[in-house]
């Protein structure tokens, strides 16, 4: 019953999901079956509220030369793993200056394409793939880096990378019935730095539609759609905000307790 309800919600709003998205939703639904009915209803109502975010507006890129569409969508999916602290010389070079992903404050998960990005060509979409990945993992296109205590995030994608700052956090906690917590809602980020084919996105916006699962052991599993857009012509490039002025993505266990 719960599986059909969630599937119906996505059909109503016409989401053009891929096999990867379907598998991710199925995994989420299996977890949601463990929750109490009232908690599931809360999450369901939140998802219905969030779905109108225009995921379907990101269409295959009409631009020549492998350019992304003005708005594209990607999926963050999988458990988070801490990035160990290491010297910059030994750190992956994303070409970004505002995000030091090897300072010990970042965690990482996988990125999958939904719509609006150039088709895979000339091996560029192999960023983020690792030897030993299973069949689903081999469809990943990149790596997402985030500070759970901080306000920076970085996207390593085929053709370039982006740095973003969290500006608003509207996640609502709901217990999973197993000692953990679902954090469901939207998160807003401003794009402050970009390289390669994403340079024109500086000053743009990212709307996250998130079901973040904090397990009883304190670790996190991500299920998040990101709708990333170029700035409107009248929009100015957003300056980097100070720590106290941003909606940083701080998820301490005490904050997740319901």
What pLDDT score was predicted for residue 238? 46
Number of separate domains in the chain: 1
d(CA 208, CA 247): 13
d(CA 174, CA 213): 10
In this prediction, residues 164-189 reach a mean pLDDT of: 95
Beta bridge partners of 82: 107
Task: Give the distance from CA 62 to its chain's centroid.
Answer: 24
> What band does 1 get if pLDDT is binned at 50, 70 and 90?
very low
Q: Does 22 have pLDDT greater than 50?
A: no
Torsion region of 218: left, alpha or beta (phi above 0 gives left; psi -120 to 50 gives alpha): left
Print the domain residue range for 31.
Answer: 2-256
Q: Does 99 have pLDDT greater than 90?
A: yes
d(CA 124, CA 58): 20
In this prediction, residues 149-155 reach a mean pLDDT of: 95
In this prediction, residues 1-29 reach a mean pLDDT of: 42
What pLDDT score was predicted for residue 197? 96
What pLDDT score was predicted for residue 44? 53
Which of 57, 47, 53, 59 minimizes the C-alpha distance to 8? Answer: 47
Q: Does 190 have pLDDT greater than 90?
A: yes
3-state secondary structure of 114: strand
Which range is most confident: 28-42, 55-69, 130-144, 232-246? 130-144
Place of tokens 């807003």: 188
What pLDDT score was predicted for residue 90? 92
Q: Does 199 have pLDDT greater than 80?
A: yes
The residues, any chain, with a CB within 8 Å of residue 167's CB and separated by 6 or more, are: 188, 189, 190, 241, 246, 247
In this prediction, residues 62-86 reach a mean pLDDT of: 87
Q: Does 202 have pLDDT greater than 90?
A: yes
Task: Give the distance from CA 83 to its chain's centroid.
Answer: 17
């Amino acid at each position: 019953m719960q599986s059909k309800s969630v599937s119906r919600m996505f059909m109503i709003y016409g989401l053009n999901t891929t096999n990867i998205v379907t598998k991710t939703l199925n995994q989420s639904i299996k977890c949601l079956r463990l929750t109490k009915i009232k908690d599931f209803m809360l999450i369901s109502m939140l998802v219905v509220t969030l779905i109108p975010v225009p995921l379907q507006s990101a269409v295959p890129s009409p631009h020549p030369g492998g350019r992304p569409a003005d708005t594209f969508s990607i999926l963050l999916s999988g458990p988070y793993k801490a990035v160990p602290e290491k010297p910059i010389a030994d750190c992956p070079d994303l070409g970004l200056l505002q995000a030091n992903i090897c300072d010990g404050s970042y965690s990482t998960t996988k990125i999958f394409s939904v719509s609006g990005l150039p088709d895979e060509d000339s091996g560029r979409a192999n960023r983020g793939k690792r030897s030993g990945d299973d069949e689903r993992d081999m469809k990943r296109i990149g790596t997402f880096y985030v500070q759970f205590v901080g306000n920076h995030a970085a996207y390593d994608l085929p053709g370039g990378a982006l740095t973003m700052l969290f500006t608003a956090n509207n996640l609502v906690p709901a217990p999973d019935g197993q000692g953990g917590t679902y954090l469901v809602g939207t998160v807003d980020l401003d794009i402050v730095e970009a390289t390669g084919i994403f340079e024109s996105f500086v000053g743009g916006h990212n709307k996250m539609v998130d079901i973040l699962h904090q397990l009883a052991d304190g670790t996190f599993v991500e299920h998040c759609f990101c709708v990333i857009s170029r700035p409107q012509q009248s929009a100015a490039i957003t300056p980097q905000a100070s720590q106290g002025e941003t909606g940083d993505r701080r998820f301490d266990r005490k904050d997740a307790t319901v």
